[in-house]
Amino acid sequence: MGRTYFGTDGIRGRANGRKLNAAIAMKVGQAAGRHFLRGAHKHRVVIGKDTRLSGYMMENALVAGFTSVGMDVIMTGPLPTPAVALLTREMRADIGVMISASHNPYEDNGIKLFGPDGFKLSDEDEEAIEAAMAVEQPLAEGDAIGRARRIEDARGRYIHAVKQSLPEDVRLDGLKIVVDCANGAAYNVTPTAIWELGAEVVAMGVEPNGLNINDGVGSTALDAIQQRVVDEGADLGIALDGDADRLIVIDEKGQKVDGDQIMALIGSRWAKDGKLRGGGVVATVMSNLGLERFLAGEGLELVRTKVGDRYVLEAMKAGGYNVGGEQSGHMILLDHATTGDGTVAALQVLAALVRSGKPASEMLHLFDPVPQLLKNVRYEGGDPLEAPSVQKVIAAANGELDGKGRLVIRKSGTEPLIRVMAEGDDEAQVNRLVDEICAAVEAAA
């Protein structure tokens, strides 16, 4: 069936817009609640959020929806997405909800759903919930109506959990780390966890006001942390996004280290330590060809999926892998978390830094990326990729690359954008092909 609400990562859109408002959030709560009313036990849902102003509205609407169909609600307040997944499983909840639009600006918001196992929902579950949103749901009556309560120790529980992911023989004493929390969900927990492990922490992006999430800070706005790392003489910078499921690292020289290099580091280190399962790493079609070549040189496989960390996770579970992620910084380490966790991934990088004794710029540069270019083309409606003129240009580009590179063209799952990516050993050719395809898409849009 077609999807009206759910995209590649739950529901996302402009807060109080057509796709996402209080009325729709209440419908999500009712539909998802009814979908997970299974068994005779008392049912409960864990709801967390990031720091957006609209989070209050969305939280209250979801609480109304869930309680109206008979589910008890546990609210955590601002907390990273992986913490909600963790608490859903630990508290034996039937469903978990994270209210966040991740790296988007504050005007947007979103709803991410987790099953009782702490994993994101399958396409089938999301389709069933979306179908249920289109019809009126049976409401609970009398004493079957749900209750709601807020727990005060959610942050402490998550801090304790992420610290357990650091090997017991590793201390962070002597390290100076800049931690940028994007004025988002991790503004309290991540600096605290890293400080408790012994590091000197320089925190930034830790003054949320409801309107400044991802605004000039965080994993999608790196200028500030790159300069801060250099100015502070720090050993490393850690940049998270608004809901802290994504990580970008900055080395001591102020250089960006993306998810591909982080996966190369963790995958190869875990392989040497006998901890890597599946014989390789899972990533998406957007990961650089250089990562694939590096892993092959280590005797490891790179398994590619379509874009979206949930699809990475599905492939990991199906193939028995425990390391996966995205170039954009989602790192899924199934030994420690059921979804992308920027803080857990950062601690693995810090452990490698301590054990290697090398500067971050050396330790985190394991391969030279193949020239790669990604551009986005906004469109208003229709499907520009179906236009014969666009298909002709794409076919010609594929013919030119012919084994010397890759072309990935897709619609964004969260915004009205066509994403055009090419990579290959000839940078000039890559740039030209991307520009030609983008021009064709713009003309057809």
Domains observed in the chain: 6-153 (3.40.120.10), 171-254 (3.40.120.10), 257-363 (3.40.120.10), 372-444 (3.30.310.50)
Taking 50 as the pLDDT cut, the residues of the chain under it are 1
Q: Does the global pTM surpass 0.75? A: yes
Predicted pLDDT at 413: 72
CA 2 to chain centre: 24
Give yes or no for a contact between 97 and 84, defined as CB atoms under 8 angstroms apart.
yes
pLDDT tens-digit map of 46-92:
999 999 999 999 999 999 999 999 999 999 999 999 999 999 999 99
Q: What HEC string does 319-360 produce?
A: HCCCEEECCCCEEEECCCCCCCCHHHHHHHHHHHHHHHCCCH
Predicted pLDDT at 322: 98
Encoded tokens for 412: 């964004």
Cα(163)–Cα(161) distance, rounded to whole angstroms?
5
Catalytic-residue membership of 102: yes
Residues for the chain: how many in total? 445
Cα(380)–Cα(98) distance, rounded to whole angstroms?
29
Cα(19)–Cα(17) distance, rounded to whole angstroms?
6
Closest CA to 353 of 222, 157, 227, 198: 198
Encoded tokens for 131: 């179908």
Give the active site residue among 54, 68, 100, 102: 102
